[in-house]
Amino acid sequence: MGLTFPLISDLPRTTLEAYGFLETDPKNRLYRYAKRAYVIIDKSGTVRYKKVLDSPKDLVTNDELLAELDKLK
């Protein structure tokens, strides 16, 4: 796809849990699912932006994400 950055896969959900992106309410019928989350990590591995949304229907706008990326320059 021509990406210049790494993507990760998290089948055991360890990264989801570490970053707080894992829904773990046993009363939820979709127990242990990934919440919709956005993360920007800089080249040194520091999290510069993190937003976890309550509803999977919600989205962060492209403008908001691009503004956060511009802050890294």
Q: What is the tens place of the pLDDT at every residue in 26-51?
A: 887 777 788 899 999 888 989 999 99
What tokens were used for 68?
């956060």
Contacts of 55 (CB under 8 A, 6+ apart): 36
Q: Which run of H or of E encompasses 39?
A: strand 37-41
| DSSP annotation of 41 | E
Task: Select from 42, 32, 40 the least CA-distant residue to 60.
Answer: 40
pLDDT confidence of residue 49: 94
Q: Which residue has the tokens 């707080």?
A: 20
How far apart are alpha carbons 48 and 38 in whole angstroms? 11
Mean pLDDT of the chain: 87
